[in-house]
Amino acid sequence: MTDSDTKSINDDNNNKINEKISDEFRQKVLKYIEYDDKISELQKKIKELKLKKQECEEHILTNMDKLDLNIIEVKNSKIIKNKSESKLACKPDLIKAVLEEEFKDLKRVDKFMEKLEDSREIREKISLRRKKN
């Protein structure tokens, strides 16, 4: 965003713009900033809690392994040791390598990869982003 794109709500140099801006719009902008500040504050607290939780989890898992436990019952809860596996997303390099190995025709593989890339759907999302001064 360039400086010419930026319009200040409270700037006296923008009287014409200020006349067009409703009080409701001003209030929504101020509320947006207030909510954004609160969200940032809460996200910092959540991050701290997750780090503390992670430390506990590592300690608990180590001791569960030593004690050969899969479930711990505490109060009205159970802590269950869970193991899951998932396959990673297919990256273009992997797809290309497998196709080259299978078809042995680099030109066809390159053409296919180009067609695949060109066929990918583009998702557009418009949102607000706040930049603090």
Is 70 exceeded by the pLDDT of residue 1? no
Residue 15: per-residue pLDDT? 66
For the segment 34-55, the average pLDDT, to the nearest whole number, is: 97
Would you give the DSSP letter of residue 13?
G
Domain map of the chain by residue range? 3-119
Q: Tell me the pLDDT tens digit for each residue of 76-126.
A: 999 999 999 999 989 989 999 999 998 888 899 899 999 999 999 999 988
Token pair of 111, please? Answer: 């053409």
pLDDT at 11: 53
What is the value of pTM for the model shown? 0.62
DSSP string, 53-91: HHHHHHHHHHHHHHHT-SEEEETTEEEE------PPP--
Rounded to a whole number of angstroms, the distance between the first and last alpha carbons of the chain is 14
